[in-house]
Structure 1
Amino acid sequence: MARTSKVSKIQEEIAKLQAQLDEVRAKEAERLGNLAVKAGLSDIDVSDRELIKALKEVADRFRKAPAQ
């Protein structure tokens, strides 16, 4: 009977978790993309650099918002 090493079990678990993480990120990216389209971001002419900067500012604003 082949023995499964502790290392290989951990590697398998890491691979499963990475797949789950990739799936969650893809779903979240789709959700945020849909929200961006609804907000009209797809209709403006702005560079990716400018848009990322503005989105980071929005993220910072929400991170700093007091809990209600």
Structure 2
Amino acid sequence: MSEPREAVTITPYPDGPLVVRGPAQLIDEHGEPIARSRRTVALCRCGASAIKPWCDGTHKLSGFRTGGPDV
């Protein structure tokens, strides 16, 4: 009998990053694994981070919004 897997959750934060919790494997555009040093990581959604794929908080300065045009 196999042991239960630990859950992976991905939470989109309003006007911010995607927060990944748990043992998710991240893969780059070339199919190569991306090393993680933490179990919880924040992934950039705004495209302006200097440390992609990780969020560096630049979304706050850039005015990034996740809502529609009327937000």
Greater Rg by CA: 1
* More helix per residue: 1
* More strand per residue: 2
